[in-house]
Structure 1
Amino acid sequence: MRKVLLVLLILVIGGVVAADRIGVRIAQDQIGQQVQAQYNLLQQPDVKIHGFPFLTQSIGGEYDRIDVAIGNWTQDDVRVSDVRIELRGVQAPLSDIAAGNAEGVTVRTATASAVVPYSLIKARAPKEVKDLRPKGDNLEVDLTGAIMGFPVGGTAELSVKPTGKGLSITPVSVGSGGVRIPLNLLQQQLTWNVPVTELPVGSRISQVQPTPDGLRIGATADNVQLSKLSQS
């Protein structure tokens, strides 16, 4: 009898786990469809709902964390890559999720990040910039040419700051390669902008970090409604 009960218990637990996993896949697919429709994406993003068991979260309509991987994202003809959204404290009634309705879905904190490729940054740089690469929290560039009659060469270090018009890239120091022009004039002529101002969380970019592949940018918004994110 004990063996029979043990087998039955295993079968019941297995059935609950299977139902739980099926439920989470359905919910992930529904959220992916909603995000794809709101942002008019060519592909449905990958969605991962964290936490176990899922059924307990879905019945209560509260989720600790949901990750959304969008991939590429275009804003003002500027294409960034590896766009990720992390949603914390998601309130999503089961009835809304089942109906594909995002009106009642709210998020305590939404954090988005993306990578701006260096090739894109260089494409918008002044012609005197021949190459660029990360250097700590800044960028380093190679310079060749002339500015206001002054010959330039060697290297310069540039800061990257998020502004209301995008990422502002400005020289902050000159290397030892023989740049023969005052820094203030260099800043006037070699400051440029990459027009990425927001990510899909309805908030301005607030973090910039150089990586080997490009600038990793981030934005965070609090107390947002999923259906309104695309209106930013």
Structure 2
Amino acid sequence: MVLIVVVILGGLFVAADRIAVSVAENKAAERAAATQGLDSRPKVSIEGFPFLTQVLWGKLDDVKVSAHDIAAGEGGRTLRIDSFHADLHGVRLSGDYSRAVADSADGLAFVTYADLSKAAPTGTSVVYAGRRSDGRTMVKLTGGFMGARLSVLSEVSVRGADEIGLHAERLPEAFTALGLEDELRQQIDFTTRLTHLPEGISLTSVTATPDGISVAAGGKHVVLAG
């Protein structure tokens, strides 16, 4: 009889714990969307068991966040982030659970070449150009300049906490010989921001893949909500 009671109570505790974590995940998703200015709610998954014990201590071991179709960028130049995934560690809760700040976090954003081309200067397309022997990944930009059609190889790099930039490795001699390098780079080189990322997250690296660019990010004291 005692064993049966223990099993029943254990089952009720697990059920209550899972219900509580589901409610918390939904509330966290709503607050995260409001905090980051997202058009739709991200998916929030609170890892670890039991959840109620973690809440009692005011700190969650691991929280995973996923979002898709994020309209980033600024100044009339929009960059669509196809997907963003973040893993937050040591998430401290405060303010009646309205604020959640992680001790540390790492994430990965993915941008397709179609979306990167839309953020590029008008008439410029971006495609994958392969990997160099030194490990660098390259993209090819094709666009028009002074009535001519040209293509250049560029490397995508992190330019700031939330910026990535494309810089042509070498320009056609036909233009540089005429002293048109600055004018051409204004057309073919560009930077763009990845906005709506959690506060405290900074871009760390970017890699070109056959399908798009993968941007890694990380940080400490990262604000999920509040």
Pairwise same-fold verdict (TM > 0.5): yes
Alignment partners' CA distance in 2, 1:28 and 1:115: 24
CA distance 1:121–1:89, change in 2 (3 Å) = same
Partner of 2:50: 53
Q: In the TM superposition, what is the alpha-carbon distance from 1:65 to its structure 2 partner?
A: 1.0
Q: In the TM superposition, what is the alpha-carbon distance from 1:6 to its structure 2 partner?
A: 2.8
CA distance 1:162–1:186, change in 2 (3 Å) = farther
The answer as to 2:79 corresponding to 1:78 is yes
The answer as to 2:129 corresponding to 1:107 is no
Matched position secondary structure for 2:32: helix
Partner of 1:158: 154
Q: In the TM superposition, what is the alpha-carbon distance from 1:140 to its structure 2 partner?
A: 3.5
Alignment partners' CA distance in 1, 2:109 and 2:180: 29
For the aligned residue pairs, the C-alpha RMSD in angstroms reads 3.2
Matched position secondary structure for 1:52: coil
CA distance 1:55–1:131, change in 2 (3 Å) = closer
Decide whether the 8 Å contact of 1:152 with 1:180 is kept in 2. no
CA distance 1:199–1:181, change in 2 (3 Å) = farther
CA distance 1:128–1:44, change in 2 (3 Å) = closer
The answer as to 2:113 corresponding to 1:118 is yes
Following superposition, which runs of at least 4 residues in structure 1 exceed 6 angstroms of deviation? 182-187
Q: In the TM superposition, what is the alpha-carbon distance from 1:127 to its structure 2 partner?
A: 7.3
Alignment partners' CA distance in 1, 2:36 and 2:53: 30
Partner of 1:96: 96
Percent of residue pairs bearing the same amino acid type: 24
The answer as to 2:18 corresponding to 1:21 is yes
| Structure 2 runs not aligned, ≥5 long | none
Q: In the TM superposition, what is the alpha-carbon distance from 1:21 to its structure 2 partner?
A: 0.6
Matched position secondary structure for 2:39: coil
Decide whether the 8 Å contact of 2:137 with 2:209 is kept in 1. no
CA distance 1:37–1:144, change in 2 (3 Å) = closer
Alignment partners' CA distance in 2, 1:197 and 1:129: 19
Alignment partners' CA distance in 2, 1:53 and 1:196: 39
TM-score by length of structure 2 reads 0.76
**Pairing partner for 1:222 from 205, 212, 220:** 220
Decide whether the 8 Å contact of 1:208 with 1:215 is kept in 2. yes
Q: In the TM superposition, what is the alpha-carbon distance from 1:55 to its structure 2 partner?
A: 1.5
Q: In the TM superposition, what is the alpha-carbon distance from 1:26 to its structure 2 partner?
A: 1.3
Q: In the TM superposition, what is the alpha-carbon distance from 1:160 to its structure 2 partner?
A: 0.8
Q: Which has the higher contact order (CA 8 A, sep 6+)?
A: 2
Q: In the TM superposition, what is the alpha-carbon distance from 1:23 to its structure 2 partner?
A: 1.2
Aligned residues: 212
Matched position secondary structure for 1:51: coil
Decide whether the 8 Å contact of 1:133 with 1:140 is kept in 2. yes
Letter in 2 for 1:138: T
Q: In the TM superposition, what is the alpha-carbon distance from 1:126 to its structure 2 partner?
A: 5.8
TM-score by length of structure 1 reads 0.74
Decide whether the 8 Å contact of 2:207 with 2:213 is kept in 1. yes
Matched position secondary structure for 1:41: coil
Structure with max Cα Rg: 1
Q: Deviations over 1:95-118 (max 9, x none)?
A: 712xxx22xx32211333321220
Alignment partners' CA distance in 1, 2:30 and 2:123: 45
Decide whether the 8 Å contact of 2:129 with 2:153 is kept in 1. no
| Structure 1 runs not aligned, ≥5 long | none
Alignment partners' CA distance in 2, 1:42 and 1:125: 23
